[in-house]
Chain A
Amino acid sequence: MTNAAYVTTAPTTARAEPIPVSAILPWAAFGGLMLLLTVYFVGAEEGATSLIGGSFVHEFVHDGRHLLGFPCH
């Protein structure tokens, strides 16, 4: 009986087939860029550099930026 339990849980620990790199790259390039831009907006916009001007983004995410460890002002 312990054997049967072992068999049914075995597939979850088996090594997965790797996703081919060629299938990941387009997502990594586009998605990665978008996500890094997102990190930039939370972490740095309107601090040292500013893309959209003003200071609303900076002030709005102010506490999060400090507590995430980004240099704020």
Chain B
Amino acid sequence: MVGNLLLRGMMVGVLAGLLAFCFAKVFGEPYVDYAIAFEEHASHAAGAAGAPEKPEIVSRATQAGVGLFAGLAIYGAAVGGLFALAFAFANGRLGRMGPRSVAALIATLGFVAVVLVPQLKYPANPPAVGSADTIMARTELFFAMLTFSVVLMIAAVMLARRFAGRLGDWNAATAAGLVYLGVVAVMFAALPDIEEIPASFSPVALWNFRIASIGVQAVLWSSVGLLFGAVAEYAARTSDASRHPSGAAAFR
């Protein structure tokens, strides 16, 4: 049962990764190219006599083609699998929601917790933005924010379930959402900001890159949510039909 869900989630995730790839190719790649051109221009200007060119291990064409696709498909498979595990826990435990609604809710909350909140604090950066010296600190802070946001979101959902009986579903969910936002706000204030944008880097390109980055994730998460919901709904219907072959009278 869970193994089946996991497999379906990962397959749906690869498909979502393909859709995200199409979006990334059209809306994201132009700004990656701009940033790399900027980077090369800057390093030429800085050290005409300086360091020799780094050898290219993977060509730009591969990075922007097969590499981009592989990265998004593998990430999509992982998101799809983790999504399926979340679905296994949530389905039947969140009030009277059907499988499609549960999948849509997980996709929305997952997008907020995994993408929106961490990226509002530490936005996506194109090449050339961010100093190589701070990669350690930036990675630690980003993953700390990500982990914290996800754990907090899970806690908020558990909180909402716990108080649903006393406050009603809607009020309990609203209260838990406010708790999530409140703690996230404290976290935003407590963690250091990182601003390492080169002075002459185009603000328009930076803005468009960051919006494209959120867009890539939005395509991925909404596709996983909708596709997984459809698959789970179909599976529930066929298993229901096989369990109750005698017809409508047997349905609860």
Contacts and interface: CB of A to CB of B under 8 A. Distances in A.
Interface of A: 4, 7-8, 10-19, 21, 23-24, 27-28, 31-32, 35-36, 38-39, 41-44, 47-49, 55-56, 59-73
B32 interface: yes
A19 B1 contact: yes
A45 to B, nearest CB: 11
B252 interface: yes
Contacts, number: 177
A42 B252 CA distance: 45
B2 A24 contact: yes
A70 B142 contact: yes
Contacts of B110: none
B42 interface: no
Nearest to B66: A60
Which 6 pairs, one residue from A and one from B, show the smallest C-beta to C-beta distance? A64-B71, A18-B92, A69-B124, A61-B71, A48-B139, A59-B58
Interface residues of B, number: 67
Secondary structure of the A contact surface, majority rule: helix
Interface of B: 1-3, 6, 24, 28-29, 32, 57-58, 62-64, 67-68, 70-72, 74-75, 77-79, 81-82, 85, 88-89, 91-93, 95-99, 115, 118-119, 122-127, 130, 132, 135-136, 138-140, 142-143, 212-214, 216-217, 233, 236-237, 240, 244, 248, 251-252
Contacts of A67: 24, 28, 32, 68, 72, 124, 212-213, 216
Contacts of B32: 63, 66-67
